[in-house]
Amino acid sequence: MAATTHTLTIPSSTRFLEDVREFVTSHAEKAEFSESEVEQLKMAVDEACANVIEHAYHGETEQPIDIAVIIQPDRLTVRIRDKGRQFNQVNYQEPDLAKYAKAKKSGGFGVHIMRRLMDEVQYRTTGGVNECCLVKFRN
């Protein structure tokens, strides 16, 4: 199946999240996804990259994060690659807000948001490279 790929590499600092959102928004709009779908893609990618910065690179700000927007006739995939620490997505649980508030817990919603907004969220690690793929099918 024909695919068009657009790539962006950012350093692992939260200051570049804005650039990632603009990059994904621009290509999702050009691929004629709806306004709400573009918003969902933008947010899911932001969460995925913020997770890489916090959990894979532990706040190191100069490590590379490679982002690719892959457009196919039936879907848009955003692939995010890093070479940081692999973090465990297997133990993911739906967040319990009341418990989080009691515990004054400020994190842990990102994966939930990604899963709610995307049609597919896949993780794999090969040869020291962690990869997260976020998939949105065309309606």
> Contact residues for other proteins (CB under 8 A)?
13-15, 17-18, 21, 36, 39, 42-43, 46-47, 50, 53-54, 95, 97-98, 100-102, 104-110, 112-113, 116-117
Q: What minimum distance in Å lies between the beta carbon of 118 and other proteins? A: 12
Angle CA(40)–CA(70)–CA(91) in degrees, nearest 5?
55
Q: What minimum distance in Å lies between the beta carbon of 99 and other proteins? A: 10
Nearer residue to other proteins within complex by CB, 93 or 126: 93
Q: How far apart are CA 19 and CA 10, in angstroms?
A: 8
Neighbour tally for 116: CB within 10 Å: 13
Name which of 75, 17, 68 is nearest 47 in CA terms: 17
Q: What minimum distance in Å lies between the beta carbon of 134 and other proteins? A: 14
Nearer residue to other proteins within complex by CB, 5 or 92: 92
Q: Specify which residues 5 forms β-bridges with.
A: 70
Nearer residue to other proteins within complex by CB, 40 or 130: 40
Nearer residue to other proteins within complex by CB, 31 or 53: 53
Angle between the N-to-C axes of helices 110-117 and 35-51, in degrees from 0 to 180, rounded to the nearest 10: 150
Handedness of CA 129, 62, 13, 10 (dihedral sign): negative
Q: What minimum distance in Å lies between the beta carbon of 108 and other proteins? A: 8
